[in-house]
C-alpha cells in the first residue's frame, strides 16, 4: 500500500475529523486514524465508539490498495511541522511498518491491524432529510449552550430535534433555562423526533461553513450527517424528552422591550456585585424605566443601574440568574429584545424584537430566582 499526498491537504482533512478522538480511550485502536486506499481515493476515519467521522481525499499518486490504522497524535504532530509538500507513504502489510518520505527526510512509525478498528454502524429503516448547512449551524449555535450536564438526566444533555411536514424545531433545556429554535423554511417528509448528543453537535458546528447542503439520515438509534467530503455518524441519546411545551407560560401580560446591548452591558456590570451563589440580578420595572440591581449581603456589595425601556403591564419586581440572562442575550443578534413576564415566581420569555428572518423563530425561557 503506497501513495503520495499533499501534506497540507492531508493535515486539513485529518484536523476536520480529529475532534472525535478522546484523550483517553478504553480501546488502544481508537488512538488511531483508519486509512483505506481504494483506486486513488483515500478514506480516513476516526472513532470513539459512540461517534465515527470519515473524510475522503484524493491522492496525487497511488498503487496497491489496502487498509491500515495509523497513530493519530504522532501523525498530526509531524504534519503540523511540514510546509506544503508531497508526502510519500510506504506501508508494509506484513509488519504494519509505515515509512513516510518528505523533502526533508524519512520517518518511520508502526501502525495497527485495520480489522481491529470499529466498523461504522449499518443503518436500516432510515428517514432522510436535506437541510441547508446554515440552518443546522444556526440551530446548534442557538441551542447548545442551554443543554444540561446532569448525568442523572442524560436526555437533557442533548438537543431535541422535532421534525414535521411543516417545520423543524430544535429544543435545549437544563431545567433552569430553555431555548426553542424553529425553522419554517425546511421540513421533513413525516413527523419524527430524536435527541442529538453534545459532542457530535460540536463537531458539526466546527466543520459547517453554512453554504453546503447537509443530508441527515436517522432512525431510532443512530443519525448520520453527510456534507462536503465529510460523514459523521453518531449514536442518539436514548430516552423520552420532557414535555417542554408544558413549562412555557402562555399568558404573559407584562411586556418589556429594551435595547439588547445596553441591557447586556448593564447586567454584566451589575452582576459583578451579585451574590456568588445565586448570581441574582433584580429587575424593577415601572412605566418607561427599568432599574437593574444586585447585592451581596455577606460582603455589603451593591449596584444599581437604570435604563429607559418600552413597557406594557403592571409595575413588577422580578429576579433572574444573571449568568443565564447574559448567555441568552449573547445568542440573540437583534438590536432590541422583548422580555415577557406574568408574575415574579413564573418564568420569563426572552425573544428577539424585530427579527428580519420570517422563517426563524427563537424563544428563550428563563426561570426566576426568588427575591428574598
pLDDT tens for each residue of 181-224 = 999 999 999 999 999 999 999 999 999 998 899 999 999 999 99
At residue 285, the pLDDT reads: 96
**Is 148 a member of any domain?**
yes
239 and 300 in a common domain: no
> What is the number of structural domains in the chain?
3
**pLDDT at 210 (0 to 100):** 86
Q: Does residue 206 sit in the same domain as residue 264?
A: no
Task: Identify whether 121 is part of a domain.
Answer: no
Closest CA to 182 of 242, 245, 128: 245
- The reply to whether 177 and 106 lie within a common domain is no
Instruction: Identify the band that residue 251 occupies on the pLDDT scale cut at 50, 70 and 90.
Output: very high
Name the one residue in this structure whose C-alpha cell is 497540507.
Answer: 8
Q: What is the mean pLDDT of residues 146-172?
A: 95
Domain assignment present for residue 371? The answer is no
| 265-276 pLDDT tens trace | 999 999 999 999
**Residue 120's pLDDT band (boundaries 50, 70, 90)?**
confident
**Residue in the structure block whose three cell numbers are 483506486:** 39
One domain for residues 359 and 267? yes
Same domain, 231 and 257: no
Confidence of residue 122 (pLDDT cuts 50, 70, 90): confident
Examine the domain organization and report whether 163 and 87 are in the same domain.
no
Per-residue model confidence as pLDDT tens digits over 54-101:
999 999 999 889 999 999 999 999 999 999 999 999 999 999 999 999
Classify residue 290: in a domain, yes or no: yes
Mean pLDDT of 316-338: 96
Confidence of residue 151 (pLDDT cuts 50, 70, 90): confident
Q: Using CA atoms, how far apart are residues 223 and 220, in angstroms rounded to an integer? A: 8
In a domain, 53, yes or no: yes
Are 316 and 288 contained in the same domain?
yes
| Main-chain dihedrals φ then ψ at residue 298, nearest 5 degrees | -65, -30
Same domain, 210 and 266: no
Looking at every residue in the chain, the average pLDDT score rounds to 95
- Whether residue 222 sits in one domain with residue 134: yes
Q: Which of 211, 245, 279 is the last residue of a domain?
A: 245
Distance between CA 207 and CA 45 in Å, rounded? 15
* Residue 161 belongs to some domain of the structure: yes
Domain identity same for 146 and 236: yes
Q: What is the CATH number of the domain that holds 151?
A: 3.10.150.10
Give the per-residue pLDDT at 360: 94
Domain interval for residue 263? 248-366
- For the residues 30-36, what does the mean pLDDT come to? 97
Listed residue (178, 186, 140, 348) closest to 258, CA to CA? 348
In a domain, 237, yes or no: yes
Of 116, 145, 174, the position where a domain reaches its end is: 116
The number of residues in the chain equals 372
| 223 and 266 fall within a common domain | no
Q: Does pLDDT of 372 surpass 80?
A: no
Q: Please say which residue of 206, 225, 245 terminates a domain.
A: 245
Amino acid at each position: 500500500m503506497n501513495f503520495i499526498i499533499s501534506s497540507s491537504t492531508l493535515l486539513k482533512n485529518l484536523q476536520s475529523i480529529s475532534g472525535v478522538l478522546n484523550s483517553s480511550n478504553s480501546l488502544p485502536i481508537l488512538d488511531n486514524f483508519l486509512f483505506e486506499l481504494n483506486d486513488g481515493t483515500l478514506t480516513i476515519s476516526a472513532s470513539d465508539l459512540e461517534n465515527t467521522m470519515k473524510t475522503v481525499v484524493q491522492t496525487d499518486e497511488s498503487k496497491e490498495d489496502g487498509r491500515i490504522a495509523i497513530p493519530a497524535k504522532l501523525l498530526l504532530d509531524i504534519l503540523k511541522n511540514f510546509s506544503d509538500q508531497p508526502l510519500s507513504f510506504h506501508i508494509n502489510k506484513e509488519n504494519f511498518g509505515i515509512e513516510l518520505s518528505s523533502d526533508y527526510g524519512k520517518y518511520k512509525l508502526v501502525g495497527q491491524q485495520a480489522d481491529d478498528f470499529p466498523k461504522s454502524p449499518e443503518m436500516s429503516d432510515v428517514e432522510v432529510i436535506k437541510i441547508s448547512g446554515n440552518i443546522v449551524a444556526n440551530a446548534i449555535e442557538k441551542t447548545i449552550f442551554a443543554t444540561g450536564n446532569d448525568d442523572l438526566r442524560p436526555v437533557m444533555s442533548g438537543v431535541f430535534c422535532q421534525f414535521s411536514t411543516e417545520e423543524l424545531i430544535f429544543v435545549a433545556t437544563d431545567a433552569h433555562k430553555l431555548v426553542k429554535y424553529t425553522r419554517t423554511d425546511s421540513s421533513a417528509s413525516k413527523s419524527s423526533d430524536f435527541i442529538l448528543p453534545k459532542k457530535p453537535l460540536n463537531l458539526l458546528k466546527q466543520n459547517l461553513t453554512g453554504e453546503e447542503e447537509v443530508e441527515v439520515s436517522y432512525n431510532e438509534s443512530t443519525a448520520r450527517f453527510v456534507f462536503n467530503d465529510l460523514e459523521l455518524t453518531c449514536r442518539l441519546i436514548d430516552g423520552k424528552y420532557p414535555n417542554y411545551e408544558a413549562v412555557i407560560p402562555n399568558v404573559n401580560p407584562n411586556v418589556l422591550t429594551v435595547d439588547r446591548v445596553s441591557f447586556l452591558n448593564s447586567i454584566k456590570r451589575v452582576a459583578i456585585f451579585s451574590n456568588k451563589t445565586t448570581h441574582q440580578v433584580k429587575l424593577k420595572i415601572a412605566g418607561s424605566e427599568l432599574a437593574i440591581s444586585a447585592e451581596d449581603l455577606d460582603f455589603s456589595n451593591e449596584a444599581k443601574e437604570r435604563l429607559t425601556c418600552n413597557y406594557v403591564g403592571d409595575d413588577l419586581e422580578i429576579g433572574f440568574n444573571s449568568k443565564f440572562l447574559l448567555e441568552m442575550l449573547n445568542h440573540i443578534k437583534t438590536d432590541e429584545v422583548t422580555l415577557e413576564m406574568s408574575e415574579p415566581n413564573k418564568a420569563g420569555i426572552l425573544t428577539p424584537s424585530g427579527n428580519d428572518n420570517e422563517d426563524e423563530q427563537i424563544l428563550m425561557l428563563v426561570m426566576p430566582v426568588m427575591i428574598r
